[in-house]
Amino acid sequence: MHEISVLYKAVELAEQTAKDNGISHLSYITLEVGELSGYLPVFFEKYFPVVIENRPVFKDCELKMIIARGEGLCLECNAMYNIMANEGKCPKCGSRYKKILGGQQFLLKEIGFEEEKE
């Protein structure tokens, strides 16, 4: 279960970014989770309320996620394909010899906030 520790890091990063910019409340944060990162988005949803507990800057903060597709380039026939959907095998020629083009990332993509009204 590595999700909770990376989620802590993302939340701490968002909190620090908010602090550095004088933002008192975040309305949402967006994580980008690659299909091949090994992290399951369902766990981020589950742990998010726990991780943001006792952090006022995250009160009623929404967790958004962008799932980045795991794309592969077949090194036999140059076809591009979705690695997850094809179980790592080129759908055109059946080769497993490939270059991974994306979908391994996990990052804090965006933080959302509303301007303070004076």
Tell me whether residue 24 or residue 78 sits nearer to Zn ion (CB atom). Answer: 78
Q: Based on the shown chain and the rule CB under 5 A, indicate whether residue 33 belongs to the binding site for Zn ion.
A: no
In sequence order, what are the beta bridge partners of 38? Answer: none
Beta bridge partners of 34: 68
Task: Look at residues 74, 103, 105, 116 and name the one whose alpha carbon lies nearest to residue 10.
Answer: 105
CA-CA distance, 71 to 63, in Å (whole number)? 25
**Nearest to Zn ion of 85, 93 (CB atom):** 93
Q: How far is the CB of 88 from Zn ion (least distance, A)?
A: 12
Q: Which 42-81 residues touch Zn ion, going by CB under 5 A? A: 74, 76-77, 79
Count the site residues for Zn ion by CB under 5 A.
Answer: 8
Task: Name the token pair of 85.
Answer: 């959907």
Kindly list the residues in this chain that would bind Zn ion in the complex (CB under 5 A).
74, 76-77, 79, 90, 92-93, 95
